[in-house]
Amino acid sequence: MGGRFLLAQISDTHIRADDNGEAAAKLKKALAQASEYRVDAILLTGDLVNDERTEEYEALARALLDPPAPLYLMPGNHDERTRLRYFFPSHTYLPHTGLLSYAIEDFPVRVVVVDQIVPGETHGLLTEAGAAWLDRTLSAAPDKPTIVALHHPPFLTHDLLFDKIGLLDSDLLSHVIAKHRQVIRIICGHHHRVAFGQIAHAPVIVAPSTSWVYGIAMYPEQPIAPRTDEQTGWMLHAWTQSGGCASHFIGL
Ligand SMILES: [Fe+2]
């Protein structure tokens, strides 16, 4: 491990019970590709299942039975915290109550996962309490390179739909991140397409979905969130002590 860290970020898997295993097969392909890259860790950045249904979480658990590296989960707006805890009892890093926010400390890069979903809503929200937790957590290791993971993009992508259903209070996040220079990346999902932005000093990368890609609508006459035939995939974040961080799109 030493001065290198490879993180597979797999997002918006949207596992379903009625798609003949199609979404699960794509997740398994992403895991197989991650194995080829000998990643150190795998993080699924939310929308793990499509409808919060028991059969979907069971199918997800089956697909994740034998991951090629330590695997971490976080919720998106299609997930339910209680069910995540219930179906993944061996994931002891998940807090037993409250938000599913936590820090991964086992690697040369720290990964701080922020649960900012709002039950029943499509948008995300960082509460004052959530921001205080993030500030405290980042303050605990000011000198260790850190990736902060969310589900909802915290910047405007200029898409007519997703700008309404992203992280609504990104100024609060920006205020916290600005105090912590060790944050080298913010990574998220939700948009089902690759996009780049910035919060304070930190580059933000939106990972694609493994299941489907949304087009963008910048004008009222354009279709909102059309599914396109662009390539699905995941992100490989590669860091070395001397070379910094690079983020690669890996197509499925
Ligand atoms: Fe999604």
Tell me, in angstroms, the distance from the centre of ligand 1 to residue 47's CA.
Answer: 5
Q: What is the pLDDT along the chain (252 residues), one digit of tens a residue?
A: 469 999 999 999 999 999 999 999 999 999 999 999 999 999 999 999 999 999 999 999 999 999 999 999 999 999 999 999 999 999 999 999 999 999 999 999 999 999 999 999 999 999 999 999 999 999 999 999 999 999 999 999 999 999 999 999 999 999 999 999 999 999 999 999 999 999 999 999 999 999 999 999 999 999 999 999 999 999 999 999 999 999 999 999
Distance 152 CA to ligand 1 centre (A): 9
- 70: Cα within 13 Å, side-chain hemisphere: 13
pLDDT of residue 168: 93
- In angstroms, rounded to a whole number, what is the distance separating the alpha carbons of residues 250 and 232? 9
**How many A from CA of 243 to the centre of ligand 1?**
32
Looking at the DSSP assignment, which residues form a beta bridge with residue 65?
none
Ordered strands of the 4-10 beta sheet = 71-74, 41-45, 4-10, 233-240, 244-251
Going by C-beta distance under 8 Å and a sequence separation of 6 or more, which residues neighbour residue 123?
Answer: 77, 152, 164, 165, 166, 167, 168
**Which DSSP state fits 143?**
T
What's the 208 CA to ligand 1 centre distance in angstroms?
A: 9
For the domain made up of 4-251, give the CATH fold. Purple Acid Phosphatase; chain A, domain 2 (3.60.21)
Question: d(Cα 20, Cα 25) in Å, to the nearest integer?
Answer: 9
Distance 211 CA to ligand 1 centre (A): 9
- Residue 146 Cα to ligand 1 midpoint, Å, equals 24
pLDDT at position 2 is: 64
CA of 13 to the centre of ligand 1 (A): 7
Give residue 187 CA to ligand 1 midpoint distance, Å. 14
Instruction: List the domain boundaries for the chain.
Output: 4-251
CA distance 230 to 242: 34
